[in-house]
Amino acid sequence: MANFLFWIFSALAIAAALTVVINKNPVYSALSLVVTLFSLASIFVLLEAYFLAALEILVYAGAIMVLFLFVIMLLNLKREETPPPYMKVQVALGIFVAILFIVFAALSLKMGFSDVIAQSVPGTANFGDISQVGKVLFSKYFFPFEVASLLLLVALIGTVYLAKRRLT
């Protein structure tokens, strides 16, 4: 049953992530991102990492998505009527990268990459526990964690500055 649910939630996450990228309306893209984040939280629950699942919902689907929607509404993004001339090059490059990704994913699955992933999943009893996440976050990943928070702060300040400049 867990394998079936994993495939359902992973297919939902992939479909919602594709909707985020493909959709032209930024609000609908943000809402599709919420579906993606809830699907990932469901996969964390299947891995019995309940704390990570709760963080995924509270922090990402909650706080970060409110921030994204605030930025979208603040910038008042509208749909472009005519695509820029370089859009054809971007679409062709995107299709090429997508095909390249699918080929590499198929090759890695054919060569037994899935066995390596299955062996690398931690089998400890406290996987996803608060103390385990805290130890790893504030020791090994402390610097990347602080850099990510600084980038979010700079992005928020830049957004407010651009919106204020546009209004004046």
Question: What are 52's two structure tokens?
Answer: 């990570």
The domains of the chain are located at: 1-79
Tell me which architecture the domain covering 1-79 has in CATH.
Up-down Bundle (1.20)
As a whole number of angstroms, the distance between CA 41 and CA 20 comes to: 17
Which tens digits make up the pLDDT trace of 22-31?
Answer: 888 888 888 8
Q: What is the pLDDT of residue 127?
A: 63
Higher pLDDT residue, 129 or 9?
9
> CA angle 99-38-127, nearest 5°?
95
Instruction: Give helix then strand counts, H and E, for the chain.
Output: 8, 0
Q: What is the pLDDT of residue 79?
A: 59
Q: What is the pLDDT of residue 116?
A: 47
Q: Is the dihedral of CA 76, 79, 81, 87 positive or negative?
A: positive
Whole-prediction pTM: 0.58
Higher pLDDT residue, 109 or 152?
152
